[in-house]
Amino acid sequence: MAKLRGRGYASVNYPTGMNLGGDPSQALIHATTTGTFVVSLSSVDLGQGLKTVVAQCAAETLGLPVENILVDTADTDTGPHCMGTFASRGTHRVGNAVIMAAAEAREVMLAVAAEELEVDAGDLETDGTGFVQVTGAREKRIHITDLALAAHFTHGRTISGRGIFLKEKNDPVPETGEMDPDSCQAHACTVAVVEVDDETGVVEVLRMHNAYEIGRALNPAMVAQQVEGGAWMGMSHALFEATEPYYPARDHGPTDFNEYLMPGAADIPEYHNAILERPAGNGPFGAKGIGEMTANAPIPAIANAIFDACGVRLDTMPFTPERVLRGLDELRADRSPTKE
Protein backbone atom coordinates (compact mmCIF):
# COMPACT_ATOMS: atom_id res chain seq x y z
CA MET A 1 0.00 0.00 0.00
CA ALA A 2 1.29 3.47 -0.86
CA LYS A 3 0.50 7.08 -1.38
CA LEU A 4 0.82 7.79 -5.09
CA ARG A 5 1.56 11.25 -6.41
CA GLY A 6 0.36 12.60 -9.75
CA ARG A 7 0.15 15.78 -11.77
CA GLY A 8 -2.69 16.86 -14.03
CA TYR A 9 -3.26 19.71 -16.47
CA ALA A 10 -6.39 21.37 -17.77
CA SER A 11 -7.08 24.56 -19.69
CA VAL A 12 -10.16 26.62 -20.42
CA ASN A 13 -11.25 29.57 -22.49
CA TYR A 14 -14.27 31.42 -21.19
CA PRO A 15 -16.58 33.97 -22.83
CA THR A 16 -17.33 37.36 -21.30
CA GLY A 17 -21.07 38.03 -21.34
CA MET A 18 -23.84 36.39 -23.32
CA ASN A 19 -25.64 36.90 -26.60
CA LEU A 20 -29.27 36.89 -25.41
CA GLY A 21 -31.38 39.42 -27.35
CA GLY A 22 -28.69 42.00 -26.75
CA ASP A 23 -26.76 42.39 -23.50
CA PRO A 24 -26.93 45.98 -22.16
CA SER A 25 -26.04 47.57 -18.82
CA GLN A 26 -26.61 51.19 -17.82
CA ALA A 27 -24.94 53.49 -15.30
CA LEU A 28 -25.79 56.95 -13.95
CA ILE A 29 -23.42 59.23 -12.08
CA HIS A 30 -23.84 62.58 -10.35
CA ALA A 31 -21.90 64.78 -7.97
CA THR A 32 -23.22 65.76 -4.57
CA THR A 33 -22.70 69.26 -3.17
CA THR A 34 -19.51 68.12 -1.44
CA GLY A 35 -17.87 66.55 -4.47
CA THR A 36 -18.74 62.89 -3.90
CA PHE A 37 -19.70 61.22 -7.15
CA VAL A 38 -22.54 58.74 -6.74
CA VAL A 39 -22.59 55.89 -9.27
CA SER A 40 -26.11 54.44 -9.52
CA LEU A 41 -26.47 50.87 -10.77
CA SER A 42 -28.88 47.97 -10.72
CA SER A 43 -25.93 45.60 -11.02
CA VAL A 44 -25.42 43.46 -7.93
CA ASP A 45 -22.16 42.82 -6.10
CA LEU A 46 -22.35 39.18 -5.04
CA GLY A 47 -19.07 39.43 -3.18
CA GLN A 48 -16.88 39.31 -6.28
CA GLY A 49 -15.83 42.95 -5.84
CA LEU A 50 -17.89 44.68 -8.51
CA LYS A 51 -18.43 47.83 -6.42
CA THR A 52 -14.70 48.24 -5.90
CA VAL A 53 -13.86 47.82 -9.59
CA VAL A 54 -16.69 50.18 -10.61
CA ALA A 55 -15.39 52.81 -8.20
CA GLN A 56 -11.92 52.42 -9.71
CA CYS A 57 -13.26 52.86 -13.25
CA ALA A 58 -15.18 55.99 -12.27
CA ALA A 59 -12.25 57.50 -10.36
CA GLU A 60 -9.80 56.84 -13.18
CA THR A 61 -12.09 58.41 -15.76
CA LEU A 62 -12.97 61.44 -13.64
CA GLY A 63 -9.37 61.91 -12.55
CA LEU A 64 -10.34 61.91 -8.88
CA PRO A 65 -9.38 59.80 -5.83
CA VAL A 66 -11.38 56.60 -5.43
CA GLU A 67 -12.45 57.93 -2.02
CA ASN A 68 -14.62 60.45 -3.89
CA ILE A 69 -16.71 57.67 -5.43
CA LEU A 70 -19.81 56.16 -3.84
CA VAL A 71 -21.34 53.16 -5.62
CA ASP A 72 -25.08 52.69 -5.06
CA THR A 73 -26.42 49.32 -6.20
CA ALA A 74 -30.02 50.18 -5.44
CA ASP A 75 -32.63 47.88 -6.96
CA THR A 76 -34.26 47.22 -10.29
CA ASP A 77 -37.22 49.48 -9.49
CA THR A 78 -35.18 52.65 -9.03
CA GLY A 79 -31.82 51.95 -10.68
CA PRO A 80 -30.84 52.02 -14.36
CA HIS A 81 -31.22 48.85 -16.39
CA CYS A 82 -28.89 45.89 -16.02
CA MET A 83 -29.29 42.40 -17.48
CA GLY A 84 -27.86 40.86 -14.31
CA THR A 85 -24.78 39.62 -12.52
CA PHE A 86 -23.94 36.44 -14.43
CA ALA A 87 -21.82 35.16 -17.31
CA SER A 88 -18.72 36.92 -15.95
CA ARG A 89 -20.11 40.11 -17.48
CA GLY A 90 -20.06 42.55 -14.54
CA THR A 91 -16.63 44.15 -14.90
CA HIS A 92 -16.86 44.28 -18.70
CA ARG A 93 -20.43 45.50 -19.22
CA VAL A 94 -20.85 47.66 -16.13
CA GLY A 95 -17.29 48.95 -16.22
CA ASN A 96 -17.77 50.20 -19.78
CA ALA A 97 -21.08 51.86 -18.89
CA VAL A 98 -19.54 53.58 -15.87
CA ILE A 99 -16.62 54.87 -17.94
CA MET A 100 -19.09 56.39 -20.43
CA ALA A 101 -21.10 58.02 -17.64
CA ALA A 102 -17.99 59.31 -15.87
CA ALA A 103 -16.58 60.75 -19.12
CA GLU A 104 -19.80 62.71 -19.66
CA ALA A 105 -19.74 63.96 -16.05
CA ARG A 106 -16.09 64.95 -16.41
CA GLU A 107 -16.95 67.27 -19.32
CA VAL A 108 -19.46 69.12 -17.13
CA MET A 109 -16.99 69.19 -14.24
CA LEU A 110 -14.31 70.79 -16.40
CA ALA A 111 -16.81 73.25 -17.89
CA VAL A 112 -17.79 74.48 -14.42
CA ALA A 113 -14.13 74.63 -13.38
CA ALA A 114 -13.36 76.71 -16.46
CA GLU A 115 -15.99 79.26 -15.44
CA GLU A 116 -14.65 79.40 -11.90
CA LEU A 117 -11.03 79.79 -12.98
CA GLU A 118 -11.87 81.97 -16.00
CA VAL A 119 -9.96 79.80 -18.45
CA ASP A 120 -10.80 77.52 -21.37
CA ALA A 121 -11.94 74.02 -20.40
CA GLY A 122 -9.43 72.56 -22.85
CA ASP A 123 -6.60 73.99 -20.74
CA LEU A 124 -7.63 72.08 -17.64
CA GLU A 125 -6.52 68.78 -16.18
CA THR A 126 -7.12 66.75 -13.02
CA ASP A 127 -4.23 65.90 -10.74
CA GLY A 128 -5.71 62.73 -9.22
CA THR A 129 -5.80 64.16 -5.70
CA GLY A 130 -9.09 66.08 -5.99
CA PHE A 131 -7.97 69.25 -7.77
CA VAL A 132 -8.78 70.58 -11.23
CA GLN A 133 -5.93 72.78 -12.42
CA VAL A 134 -4.63 74.67 -15.41
CA THR A 135 -2.13 72.56 -17.31
CA GLY A 136 1.35 73.81 -16.53
CA ALA A 137 0.09 76.28 -13.90
CA ARG A 138 -0.53 74.21 -10.79
CA GLU A 139 -1.13 77.26 -8.62
CA LYS A 140 -4.31 78.04 -10.56
CA ARG A 141 -6.63 75.27 -9.40
CA ILE A 142 -9.86 74.43 -7.59
CA HIS A 143 -10.73 71.52 -5.33
CA ILE A 144 -13.61 69.26 -6.28
CA THR A 145 -15.51 70.17 -3.10
CA ASP A 146 -15.42 73.88 -3.92
CA LEU A 147 -16.17 73.07 -7.54
CA ALA A 148 -19.25 71.02 -6.66
CA LEU A 149 -20.52 73.73 -4.32
CA ALA A 150 -20.08 76.32 -7.07
CA ALA A 151 -21.87 74.11 -9.59
CA HIS A 152 -24.89 73.78 -7.33
CA PHE A 153 -25.14 77.20 -5.71
CA THR A 154 -23.51 79.58 -8.22
CA HIS A 155 -23.97 78.14 -11.68
CA GLY A 156 -27.04 75.94 -11.21
CA ARG A 157 -25.32 73.06 -12.99
CA THR A 158 -25.70 69.35 -12.39
CA ILE A 159 -22.42 67.50 -12.74
CA SER A 160 -23.74 64.20 -14.04
CA GLY A 161 -23.44 61.65 -16.78
CA ARG A 162 -25.16 58.65 -18.32
CA GLY A 163 -23.69 55.54 -19.86
CA ILE A 164 -24.89 52.35 -21.46
CA PHE A 165 -22.85 49.54 -22.93
CA LEU A 166 -24.60 47.20 -25.33
CA LYS A 167 -23.39 43.95 -26.77
CA GLU A 168 -25.77 43.74 -29.70
CA LYS A 169 -27.60 40.52 -30.47
CA ASN A 170 -25.74 38.47 -33.02
CA ASP A 171 -27.35 35.78 -35.15
CA PRO A 172 -25.47 32.92 -36.79
CA VAL A 173 -24.74 33.00 -40.49
CA PRO A 174 -27.02 30.25 -41.88
CA GLU A 175 -24.48 28.98 -44.41
CA THR A 176 -21.51 28.70 -42.05
CA GLY A 177 -22.82 28.90 -38.48
CA GLU A 178 -20.40 31.74 -37.83
CA MET A 179 -21.45 34.20 -35.13
CA ASP A 180 -20.15 36.57 -32.45
CA PRO A 181 -21.92 35.50 -29.22
CA ASP A 182 -19.65 37.24 -26.72
CA SER A 183 -17.40 40.28 -26.40
CA CYS A 184 -14.07 38.64 -25.65
CA GLN A 185 -12.67 35.49 -24.12
CA ALA A 186 -10.37 34.92 -21.17
CA HIS A 187 -8.06 31.92 -20.94
CA ALA A 188 -6.64 29.85 -18.11
CA CYS A 189 -4.63 26.74 -17.27
CA THR A 190 -4.44 24.84 -13.99
CA VAL A 191 -1.84 22.28 -12.93
CA ALA A 192 -2.87 20.18 -9.93
CA VAL A 193 -0.55 18.00 -7.87
CA VAL A 194 -2.35 15.31 -5.86
CA GLU A 195 -1.60 12.39 -3.62
CA VAL A 196 -3.79 9.27 -3.78
CA ASP A 197 -3.84 6.76 -0.95
CA ASP A 198 -4.36 3.44 -2.71
CA GLU A 199 -5.52 1.78 0.54
CA THR A 200 -8.21 4.28 1.55
CA GLY A 201 -8.91 5.95 -1.81
CA VAL A 202 -8.51 9.39 -0.25
CA VAL A 203 -7.29 12.11 -2.64
CA GLU A 204 -5.36 15.08 -1.26
CA VAL A 205 -4.62 18.10 -3.42
CA LEU A 206 -1.12 19.28 -2.51
CA ARG A 207 -0.60 22.19 -4.89
CA MET A 208 -2.39 24.14 -7.58
CA HIS A 209 -0.62 26.26 -10.16
CA ASN A 210 -2.99 28.64 -11.97
CA ALA A 211 -2.25 30.86 -14.96
CA TYR A 212 -4.94 33.28 -16.10
CA GLU A 213 -5.04 35.60 -19.12
CA ILE A 214 -7.74 38.12 -18.24
CA GLY A 215 -7.10 41.14 -20.44
CA ARG A 216 -6.02 43.51 -17.69
CA ALA A 217 -6.14 43.07 -13.92
CA LEU A 218 -7.91 46.23 -12.72
CA ASN A 219 -7.39 45.15 -9.11
CA PRO A 220 -4.62 42.53 -8.87
CA ALA A 221 -5.34 41.66 -5.23
CA MET A 222 -8.99 40.94 -6.00
CA VAL A 223 -8.00 38.91 -9.05
CA ALA A 224 -5.82 36.72 -6.85
CA GLN A 225 -8.71 36.28 -4.42
CA GLN A 226 -11.03 35.36 -7.29
CA VAL A 227 -8.54 32.80 -8.63
CA GLU A 228 -7.93 31.16 -5.25
CA GLY A 229 -11.59 31.23 -4.25
CA GLY A 230 -12.56 29.67 -7.57
CA ALA A 231 -9.85 27.03 -7.20
CA TRP A 232 -11.31 26.15 -3.80
CA MET A 233 -14.77 25.83 -5.36
CA GLY A 234 -13.40 23.67 -8.17
CA MET A 235 -11.65 21.39 -5.70
CA SER A 236 -14.86 21.23 -3.65
CA HIS A 237 -16.86 20.17 -6.71
CA ALA A 238 -14.20 17.65 -7.69
CA LEU A 239 -13.73 15.90 -4.36
CA PHE A 240 -16.57 16.72 -1.97
CA GLU A 241 -19.83 18.20 -3.18
CA ALA A 242 -22.79 16.20 -4.45
CA THR A 243 -26.49 16.93 -4.72
CA GLU A 244 -28.20 13.99 -6.46
CA PRO A 245 -28.41 11.05 -6.40
CA TYR A 246 -27.70 9.94 -2.87
CA TYR A 247 -26.94 6.30 -2.20
CA PRO A 248 -28.77 4.15 -1.37
CA ALA A 249 -31.63 6.58 -0.67
CA ARG A 250 -32.25 10.30 -0.48
CA ASP A 251 -32.47 9.99 3.30
CA HIS A 252 -28.69 9.71 3.29
CA GLY A 253 -28.32 13.21 1.87
CA PRO A 254 -27.29 16.21 3.99
CA THR A 255 -29.99 18.31 5.60
CA ASP A 256 -27.90 21.42 6.35
CA PHE A 257 -24.39 22.83 5.89
CA ASN A 258 -23.17 21.00 8.99
CA GLU A 259 -23.59 17.77 7.02
CA TYR A 260 -22.84 19.08 3.52
CA LEU A 261 -19.24 18.24 2.68
CA MET A 262 -16.90 21.02 1.59
CA PRO A 263 -13.13 21.49 1.99
CA GLY A 264 -12.00 22.90 5.30
CA ALA A 265 -8.95 25.00 6.10
CA ALA A 266 -6.75 21.90 6.42
CA ASP A 267 -7.75 20.77 2.90
CA ILE A 268 -6.66 23.94 1.12
CA PRO A 269 -3.54 23.31 -1.01
CA GLU A 270 -0.66 25.63 -1.85
CA TYR A 271 -1.62 28.13 -4.54
CA HIS A 272 0.78 29.51 -7.11
CA ASN A 273 -0.85 32.04 -9.43
CA ALA A 274 0.32 33.85 -12.55
CA ILE A 275 -1.74 36.62 -14.16
CA LEU A 276 -1.15 37.35 -17.84
CA GLU A 277 -2.39 40.63 -19.31
CA ARG A 278 -3.43 40.86 -22.96
CA PRO A 279 -5.83 43.84 -22.98
CA ALA A 280 -9.15 43.40 -24.79
CA GLY A 281 -9.90 46.22 -27.21
CA ASN A 282 -13.53 46.49 -26.06
CA GLY A 283 -12.93 45.99 -22.33
CA PRO A 284 -12.86 48.69 -19.63
CA PHE A 285 -9.18 49.64 -19.62
CA GLY A 286 -8.65 46.30 -21.39
CA ALA A 287 -10.29 44.03 -18.79
CA LYS A 288 -12.08 40.78 -19.54
CA GLY A 289 -14.34 38.81 -17.21
CA ILE A 290 -12.78 36.59 -14.55
CA GLY A 291 -15.56 34.99 -12.57
CA GLU A 292 -17.05 31.58 -13.13
CA MET A 293 -14.06 30.31 -15.11
CA THR A 294 -11.89 30.14 -12.00
CA ALA A 295 -13.81 27.08 -10.78
CA ASN A 296 -13.65 25.25 -14.11
CA ALA A 297 -10.08 24.22 -14.86
CA PRO A 298 -9.28 22.78 -11.39
CA ILE A 299 -11.85 20.00 -11.80
CA PRO A 300 -10.39 18.24 -14.88
CA ALA A 301 -6.88 19.06 -13.67
CA ILE A 302 -7.56 17.07 -10.47
CA ALA A 303 -9.14 14.25 -12.48
CA ASN A 304 -6.08 14.08 -14.73
CA ALA A 305 -3.78 14.16 -11.70
CA ILE A 306 -5.61 11.19 -10.16
CA PHE A 307 -5.20 9.28 -13.42
CA ASP A 308 -1.50 10.17 -13.51
CA ALA A 309 -1.08 9.00 -9.91
CA CYS A 310 -2.89 5.67 -9.97
CA GLY A 311 -4.28 5.03 -13.44
CA VAL A 312 -7.93 5.44 -12.47
CA ARG A 313 -9.91 7.53 -14.93
CA LEU A 314 -12.87 9.20 -13.17
CA ASP A 315 -15.54 11.09 -15.10
CA THR A 316 -18.24 11.39 -12.43
CA MET A 317 -18.01 13.93 -9.63
CA PRO A 318 -17.25 13.94 -6.82
CA PHE A 319 -14.10 11.81 -7.00
CA THR A 320 -14.84 10.01 -3.74
CA PRO A 321 -12.64 7.42 -2.04
CA GLU A 322 -15.22 4.77 -2.97
CA ARG A 323 -14.94 5.60 -6.66
CA VAL A 324 -11.16 5.64 -6.51
CA LEU A 325 -11.08 2.24 -4.79
CA ARG A 326 -13.58 0.75 -7.27
CA GLY A 327 -11.38 2.04 -10.10
CA LEU A 328 -8.30 0.47 -8.53
CA ASP A 329 -10.15 -2.83 -8.13
CA GLU A 330 -11.10 -2.76 -11.80
CA LEU A 331 -7.49 -2.10 -12.80
CA ARG A 332 -6.28 -5.02 -10.67
CA ALA A 333 -8.95 -7.27 -12.15
CA ASP A 334 -7.95 -6.30 -15.68
CA ARG A 335 -4.31 -7.14 -14.88
CA SER A 336 -5.11 -10.41 -13.14
CA PRO A 337 -3.66 -13.51 -14.89
CA THR A 338 -6.88 -15.45 -14.20
CA LYS A 339 -8.77 -13.08 -16.46
CA GLU A 340 -6.83 -14.37 -19.40
Reported as a single tens digit per residue, the pLDDT across 290-309 is: 888 899 999 999 999 999 99
Q: What count of Cα atoms within 13 Å lies in the side-chain half-sphere of residue 221?
A: 3
**3-class SS at 61?**
helix
Reported as a single tens digit per residue, the pLDDT across 60-117 is: 999 999 999 999 987 778 888 887 777 778 788 899 999 999 999 999 999 999 999 9
Q: Which domains does the chain have, with CATH numbers?
A: 3-15+183-334 (3.30.365.10), 18-167 (3.30.365.10)
> In this prediction, what percent of the chain has a pLDDT beyond 90?
69
All residues at 6 or more sequence positions from 195 whose CB lies less than 8 Å from its CB, including other chains: 3, 4, 5, 203, 204, 206, 309
pLDDT for the residue numbered 338: 63
- Active-site amino acid positions: 292
pLDDT for the residue numbered 321: 94
Least confident segment among 134-148, 239-253, 279-293: 239-253
Reported as a single tens digit per residue, the pLDDT across 101-150 is: 999 999 999 999 999 999 999 999 999 999 999 999 989 999 999 999 99
